[in-house]
Structure 1
Amino acid sequence: MSRPARSLALAARLLREGRLSCEEHARDVLDRCAEHASCNAFVTLDADRLLTAARAADHAGPARRPLHGIPLAVKDNIDVALLPTTAGTPALRHHRPGRSAEVWRRLAGAGALALGKTGMHELAYGVTGQNAAFGTVGNPVVPGYICGGSSSGTAAAVAAGLAPAGLGTDTGGSVRIPAALCGLVGMRPTTGRYPAAGVLRISRTRDTVGVIATDLADVAFLDGLLAADPAERYAYPRAPSPRPDGRIRLLLPRRAWTGLDPRVAAVAAGCLRELRCAGADLVQVDLPDPADLLGEAALPVPLHETWHELAFYLARCETCGDPGELIRRIASPDVADVLAPLLHGPVVPDERYRHALRVQDDLAGAAVGLLREHRADAFLSPTTILPAAPADVGAEVSVLGRPEPVFLSYIRNTAFAAVMGWPSISLPAGTTPEGLPVGLLLDTPPHTDRFLLALAARCAGIWRSSAEPPAAPPTATLEEEPCPTCGTPTRSTCPPIWPA
């Protein structure tokens, strides 16, 4: 048995050149899924359906589409026709929509095959991947630790090499958190950039489909296929720096860089050092306290909108048409604690909802103002303030020795872009001494998605040497020759800045 290609581009080339048949590739993928069944990445995995589709792709003739015959993972709140969409909750266990979500129709139109529907935190209301109805999704990179959520299964499938990429959804960090905790690339686009039809959302204001992959170029390619603008399809992003000298300038929100787990701080510091060595400008700025943002804007909006979004989706569901029934049957205690109060009426009054929307507008205005003032490219912060917690973590986690809520701890930095509807991408930054992945987050204003992808490529290229451990310890010569740019005594010369 061969190992399925980890890169979307590589798999596409092998299939396009006929060096691998679609059926062979599908069988390899299914064999690997069986090997990694313990991580519980999939809620639905229909092998016969996949193999039938793969055989059909093999007989499709010489005209090969961009994703011809490539199996991709799909989060289980995104409809794929005739496959169950459970959203990780018991009331939808037998729900089989007759039509695919528009995002999947676009990928299927490019030749992709649905490998299966992936596990998730129930109704996307959580960050760990624990699910009392369908089982917890495990982290294949570091067994015994959480995968992150809520797009847990998609991240696990990609990290385990079961699919080169997959779809998730992101309300406050549900694509970027599991990507960071599994050492992957995870992108949330500008809200509204990808179509929402056929997706069980919990917030029309915040929810968006997002992409998780091992390779940044694959994320960029899928973004082009999914975007509403056909002109962006198939093109890798190329964007200049807004600064005449072509140097990167990034803003570091002070609050986002405080209270970090020392292991995350050490990895992030290495990346900052690499950026400075490459000539990038890093500027500390002040934005509202993330804790205030969560309480005032991040949480009230979804809670106000969830009942209406569930009712809208369930209106086309034959097995469960009542939001109340769905909520009463929630299996996971943490999700039930949040949503059960909706059975007695709105938990967020209209005035508090309107205040939350004003807060997000004020925050967006302040953030754009800072970027303009400093002529900066983006905001940079650690994706999560701590690495993956043990798989049996409860409602609280230790942050610098203090017990803190798991949910609020993990979305503290990712909520910033989600609240404002900005595109945001989490990039692998390195690992802790225990091998736990750490991610860094880049956020840019709305409708700058292709610029963000190009900037991410620049940054990832710069700190790749920090993310990948050297083959041998540094020599005495290197230690004796400080960097002429920043004085750091770990390398004789700094890598040059990426050309403008």
Structure 2
Amino acid sequence: MRPPNAFESPILRFSPPIRHAAGYGAGVRGEQEDPAMSDSHTWSVLEARTALRARRLSAREYAEDLIARTRALAALGAYITPTPEFATRAPNPGPLQGIPLAIKDNIDIAGVRTTAATPRLREHIPTADSAAWRLLAAAGAVLLGKTSMHELAYGATGACTAAPTARNPVAPTHLAGGSSSGTAAAVAAGLAPAGLGTDTGGSVRIPAAVCGIIGFRPSTGRYPESGVLHLSPTRDAIGVMARTVPDILLLDAVLTGRKPSTPRGSGPQRLAIPQEGWRDLHPEVHRLATRALDALERAGHQLIPVDESVHGGSLDELLPLAMWVSLAETPAAFRAYLADSTATFEEVIASIASPDVREILTPLLEFPIPEQQYRADLKTQARLRETAAAARTEFAATVMPTTVLPAVPVGSGTHLVHNGVEAPTFPTFLRHTGPAAILGLPSITLPIGATRDGLPVGLQFDGHPQRDIDLLHLAECLSAVINPDRRAPD
């Protein structure tokens, strides 16, 4: 059965009348203006900032528009904890003054639950902000809510047992991807102009790709990481999801404390096309990704086929390494985060509700990853990084489809059928996003259209460590080439 697309969806079809509090917006939009005609949910961050500065509406009205839309689209399951009381507070002055954001529920905000979608943390309320949120709030951002996620961030579909499972706004019979599922769903559905997720092996880029938005994982260590329930401190990165690359550039500037960088044009670039990253793709992913490559080539970019050395080794070698290092670091990372809570690592693991996450993490209680193996894996990672760096010097970026298949249906479990073959869900989705995390690279997924069944597909560009701005400027130039007909949420 053909899933509905974003403009036919029963979830997205209805946008209710929006009622504004008395005293807000008088003389700006006009008291008699039909609030149902508001298009504020389609605004990018920069468009919203322009509208707020021009007094088209107040920051409170803008937040109320998005809150009303969120309530109307509650069936999406984008939020675990909506925070309308935070969203309508007077914002701090700054470059984000009045911009509401959606934040993944493993990133701390003082006074708001951080549940990580797991039962034992259901009432965990941190008393301090994460470093990332401190920067955003100081710049004037306000909080729309804490978003749904794959339990404890250990999954790629967003399916969750003990918290809302975010549905894909473009095709509500399908999942939003994981683990940062709720933020992707909120941005794609027009519930928020942008938001934060976390990315250990693809958890920002996968949901962004399958929901049809932009997802950016920075170089490892680019953003401050305190106040986050980490899985793997050597791999984790807070990432940004939005609908335009300039929005990502603005949020990147706030999170790094640097001046905003204006996108600049660039001439033809040499782009590496890893051959193993283009095998065994879903037919529709292959069709759309190939079409995008054709567009890049017509625009004058050089597409150079390359071997596995750009990743330091084969994808089959990298993916097990990604998983083992994360599992080795998780117990200590969880214990460090839980030090100020009433929960213990053992209690959190014992209470896991989602069967797929329980299957992965419960063995750590009795069989932690041996220290010797962990050290050997880190040495292998260092070798891969050296090999990859040498092989990538002449290229602006490597290019692969973000995922090998589109979003999977609601109800999908630990295994899926891909091109007629049963395969494990988690590593199948991480196949192309995992290398950037292992190699410490900045990585961005850009939407390139939808399958004939209406499911979004993304194309991923991996850059060079600590050259994030170069990658973002490149992405801004390439975005218009590979997807010139982008449409905002309807």
Superposition TM-score, scaled by structure 2 size:
0.89
Helix, strand or coil for the counterpart of 1:167?
Answer: strand
* Deviation at residue 432 of structure 1 after TM alignment: 0.6
* Aligned pairs for 1:288-299 within 5 A: 288-295=313-320, 297-299=321-323
2:77 is aligned with 1:40: yes
Helix, strand or coil for the counterpart of 2:85?
Answer: helix
Letter aligned with residue 323 of structure 1: F
* Aligned pairs for 1:93-492 within 5 A: 93-227=122-256, 230=257, 232-238=258-264, 246-287=267-308, 288-295=313-320, 297-317=321-341, 319-320=342-343, 322-346=344-368, 348-372=369-393, 375-465=394-484
What corresponds to 1:25 in structure 2? Answer: 62
Letter aligned with residue 222 of structure 1: L
Letter aligned with residue 165 of structure 2: T
CA contact (8 A) 2:268 2:299 kept: no
Letter aligned with residue 24 of structure 1: E
Letter aligned with residue 316 of structure 1: D
CA distance in 2, matches of 1:446, 1:465: 28
The share of aligned pairs that are identical, in percent, is 46
* Deviation at residue 363 of structure 1 after TM alignment: 1.9
CA contact (8 A) 1:239 1:450 kept: no
Helix, strand or coil for the counterpart of 1:143?
Answer: strand
CA contact (8 A) 1:379 1:443 kept: yes
What corresponds to 2:46 in structure 1? Answer: 9
* Aligned pairs for 1:43-62 within 5 A: 43-51=80-88, 53=89, 56-57=90-91
Helix, strand or coil for the counterpart of 1:144?
Answer: strand
* Deviation at residue 293 of structure 1 after TM alignment: 1.2
Aligned residues: 446
CA distance in 2, matches of 1:37, 1:87: 19
* Deviation at residue 440 of structure 1 after TM alignment: 0.6
Q: State the Cα deviation string for residues 153-210 of structure 1 (Å, max 9, x = none).
A: 0001101101000000000000000000000000000110000110110100100100
* Deviation at residue 14 of structure 1 after TM alignment: 1.1
CA distance in 2, matches of 1:344, 1:443: 37
CA distance in 1, matches of 2:59, 2:300: 45
Superposition TM-score, scaled by structure 1 size:
0.87
Helix, strand or coil for the counterpart of 1:145?
Answer: strand
CA distance in 1, matches of 2:419, 2:47: 42
1:69 aligned to which of 81, 98, 101: 98
Helix, strand or coil for the counterpart of 2:185?
Answer: helix
Helix, strand or coil for the counterpart of 1:282?
Answer: strand
Helix, strand or coil for the counterpart of 1:299?
Answer: helix
Q: State the Cα deviation string for residues 243-300 of structure 1 (Å, max 9, x = none).
A: xxx42111111111101001000000101111111111111111132122111x1111
CA contact (8 A) 2:215 2:242 kept: yes
Query: Gapped runs of 5+ residues in structure 1?
Result: 241-245, 469-500
Query: Gapped runs of 5+ residues in structure 2?
Result: 1-34
